[in-house]
Amino acid sequence: MIRAATANDVAEIRAMIRELAEYERAVEQARATEEQLREALFGELPAAFALIAEDDETGKAVGYALWFPRFSTWTGTRGMHLEDLYVRPHARGGGHGKALLASLAAICERHGYERFEWWVLAWNEPTIDFYKSLGVEFLDEWTVCRLSGEPLQDLAAQAPAVRNQSPAL
């Protein structure tokens, strides 16, 4: 069963985020707190949304998908960025990952999102094979860029004043 996450799921989502980070060999980078996740998912202005995959027999959470809307200047439409897709090891192969992705694709269709995009680590062959089985297009010509920590702070310090700045900026 796939369902929308609720505020009661925050601790379980955080636990699965940590499990995903361990699998991706980056557990030290998974620093989000329950309070941050609660605000991001269920605050006044949600930054992201989540679905939960439950075991049909026990009702326990066996996976999650966390996503947020994005915008394409080329298509002039919104799209979806999948930040996390995770199914616990004991539940893999049971169709939960595909059900989560299908549910997200349905959200895209319902809202007129033309693109559904995410990243996958190059070494994660089992997941890449799974995505290939769904007909996913891999955009090898694009490279992910990230600016964080001190380089981000250094560049921000060079910013000129922005006139007519809205509160969102």
| Predicted local distance difference test score (pLDDT) of residue 107 | 97
DSSP string, 126-159: HHHHHHHHTTPPP-TT-------HHHHHHHHTTP
| Predicted local distance difference test score (pLDDT) of residue 108 | 96
Active-site pick, 64, 86, 113, 131? 131
CATH for the 2-144 domain, from 3.30.470.20, 3.40.228.10, 3.60.15.10, 3.40.630.30: 3.40.630.30
Instruction: Return d(Cα 66, Cα 81) in angstroms, integer.
Output: 9
| Predicted local distance difference test score (pLDDT) of residue 168 | 66
| Predicted local distance difference test score (pLDDT) of residue 101 | 97
Q: For the chain, which residues make up each domain, given as ranges?
A: 2-144
| Predicted local distance difference test score (pLDDT) of residue 169 | 63
| Predicted local distance difference test score (pLDDT) of residue 111 | 96
Give me the residues of the chain with pLDDT under 50, please.
none
pTM of the model: 0.90
Active site annotation includes 131:
yes
